[in-house]
């Protein structure tokens, strides 16, 4: 295995949401833009990741040990979501615009895979039999189109991780980026005019956007941090995103010093909201509340290393 192959192997492992070598306390929290305060919803001496906020605002979806769970706003009610034979779900999942379907990324059992085995499926929001969307792998879901007819995702093809789109019923995928280095975290703007994402195209991990057909690529940030996963608010005023306070190159590790920052789409000003230990699993997927005033995330506290 040469250095390039080793790099992509390690990178693919970082995508596997249930992979964890540390014992941690996980905290599902929300942040309120109107008050500047964090609210603790759920705390466990266990590892969970990547909250989605339901379209009706009544619950969150998280992944934990390969399964998906519905967590209600009081943090006291917890229900497993039936994902059929897809029981190795990673942290790339999300709810359709009409609130009726979940897209999941499952690490399928595929022998001989070099860069990960994640494939995208859809299933009813209440749970059920998963329907395969992407036949090629690895594919990691990240965003629904506003009309719910297509989705965007990160995939390893032809020696690199790039961004692709596909119809929700499957079919031929369309490549939207073709840049050296990692492109990740794509998500449509609510009006469908842009896809926001993070890219190493400039030589550092920064936020970008492009038109839905992959043209008009525009860099949005340029600073000393590693910037990941821009999530546009439903009212299209802001992006909330994750910043590693120390440069991580193209990696997206867990249990690092990070901050959640807010990008004002109109003024292009950036403000820091809060800092904590996090990274992989914190805010991989869309997590805004329907009112655009709050979003959900996961912070971590390392308690020891597993043997």
Supply the pLDDT for residue 305.
Answer: 59
Phi, psi of 11 (to 5 degrees): -65, -40
pTM metric for this prediction = 0.92
> Confidence class of residue 179 from pLDDT cuts 50, 70 and 90?
confident
Residues 20 and 53: beta-carbon distance below 8 Å: no
Distance between CA atoms of 48 and 285, rounded to whole angstroms?
Answer: 13
User: Using one digit for the tens of pLDDT, what is the confidence trace for 272-281?
Assistant: 999 999 999 9
Give the three-class secondary structure for 89.
strand
75-116: pLDDT as tens digits: 999 999 999 999 999 999 999 999 999 999 999 999 988 889
Q: Which CATH architecture has domain 3-305?
A: 6 Propeller (2.120)
Averaged pLDDT for residues 133-161: 97
Q: Cβ(84)–Cβ(51) under 8 Å?
A: no
Q: If you compute the radius of gyration of the chain from its CA atoms, what whole number of angstroms results?
A: 18
Name the pLDDT band for 17 (thresholds 50, 70, 90): very low
How far apart CA 209 and CA 195 sit, in angstroms, is: 5
Residue 16 predicted with pLDDT over 90: no
Residue 204 has pLDDT above 80, yes or no: yes
What average pLDDT does range 24-53 have in this prediction? Answer: 98
The mean pLDDT value for 45-58 works out to 98
b/e per residue, 114-153, with b = 16+ CB within 10 A? ebbbbbbbbbebebeebeebbeebbbbbbbbbeeeebbbb
Quick one: pLDDT at residue 278? 98
Smallest CA-to-CA distance from 106 within 79, 84, 124 is with 84
- pLDDT at residue 21 in the model: 52
| Predicted pLDDT at 10 | 42
- What is the three-class DSSP state of 12? helix
| pLDDT value of position 7 | 39
- Residue 22's pLDDT is 59
Read off the pLDDT of each residue in 209-221 and give the average, rounded to a whole number: 98
Instruction: Give yes or no for residue 8 having a pLDDT over 90.
Output: no
pLDDT of res. 292: 98
Q: Does pLDDT of 74 surpass 60? A: yes
Q: Tell me which residue has tokens 């990741």.
A: 49
Q: CA triplet 69, 99, 96: central angle to 5 degrees? A: 90
Q: For 184-206, what is the mean pLDDT?
A: 98
H or E stretch covering 305: strand 294-305
Burial class (CB in 10 A: 0-12, 13-18, 19+), 45: exposed
Report the mean per-residue pLDDT for the chain. 93
Calculate the CA dihedral of residues 283, 286, 290, 292 and round it to 10 degrees.
60
pLDDT for 114 equals: 87
Percent with pLDDT over 70 in the chain: 92
Question: Is pLDDT of 267 > 70?
Answer: yes
| Backbone dihedral angles phi then psi of residue 100, each to the nearest 5 degrees | -100, -15
The stretch 199-225 carries a mean pLDDT of: 97
Long-range contacts, 45-50 (Cβ 8 Å, 24+): 45/303, 47/18, 47/20, 47/281, 48/281, 48/298, 49/17, 49/91, 49/280, 49/281, 49/282, 49/284, 49/298, 50/17, 50/91, 50/92, 50/93, 50/281, 50/282, 50/283, 50/284, 50/285, 50/287, 50/298
Q: What is the pLDDT of residue 135?
A: 97
Q: Supply angle C-alpha 81, 87, 91, rounded to 5.
A: 80
pLDDT exceeds 70 at position 19: no
What are the boundaries of each domain within the chain? Answer: 3-305
User: Is the pLDDT assigned to residue 207 strictly greater than 70?
Assistant: yes
Mean pLDDT of 229-256: 98
């Amino acid at each position: 295995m040469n250095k390039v192959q080793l790099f992509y192997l390690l990178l693919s492992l970082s995508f596997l949401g249930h992979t964890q070598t540390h014992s941690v306390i996980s905290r599902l929290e929300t942040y309120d833009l109107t008050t500047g305060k964090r609210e603790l919803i759920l705390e466990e001496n266990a590892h969970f990741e990547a909250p989605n906020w339901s379209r009706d605002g009544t619950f969150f979806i998280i992944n934990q040990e390969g399964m998906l769970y519905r967590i209600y706003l009081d943090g006291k009610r917890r229900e497993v979501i039936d994902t059929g034979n897809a029981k190795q779900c990673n942290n790339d999942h999300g709810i359709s615009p009409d609130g009726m379907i979940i897209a999941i990324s499952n690490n399928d059992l595929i022998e001989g895979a070099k860069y990960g085995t994640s494939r995208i499926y859809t299933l009813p929001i209440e749970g059920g039999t998963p329907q395969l969307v992407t036949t090629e792998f690895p594919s990691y879901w990240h965003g629904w189109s506003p009309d719910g007819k297509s989705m965007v995702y990160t995939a390893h093809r032809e020696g690199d991780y790039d961004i692709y789109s596909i119809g929700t019923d499957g079919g031929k995928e369309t490549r939207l980026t073709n840049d050296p280095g990692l492109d990740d975290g794509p998500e449509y703007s609510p009006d469908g005019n842009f896809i926001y994402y993070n890219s190493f195209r400039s030589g550092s991990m920064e936020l970008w956007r492009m038109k839905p057909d992959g043209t008009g690529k525009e860099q949005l940030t340029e600073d000393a941090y590693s910037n990941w996963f821009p999530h546009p608010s439903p009212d299209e005023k802001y992006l909330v995103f994750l910043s590693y306070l120390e440069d991580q190159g193209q990696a997206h590790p867990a249990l690092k010093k990070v901050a959640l920052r807010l990008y004002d789409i109109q003024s292009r000003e950036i403000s820091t909201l809060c800092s904590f230990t996090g990274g992989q699993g914190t805010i991989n997927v869309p997590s805004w509340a329907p009112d655009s005033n709050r979003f959900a995330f996961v912070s971590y506290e390392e308690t020891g290393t597993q043997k």
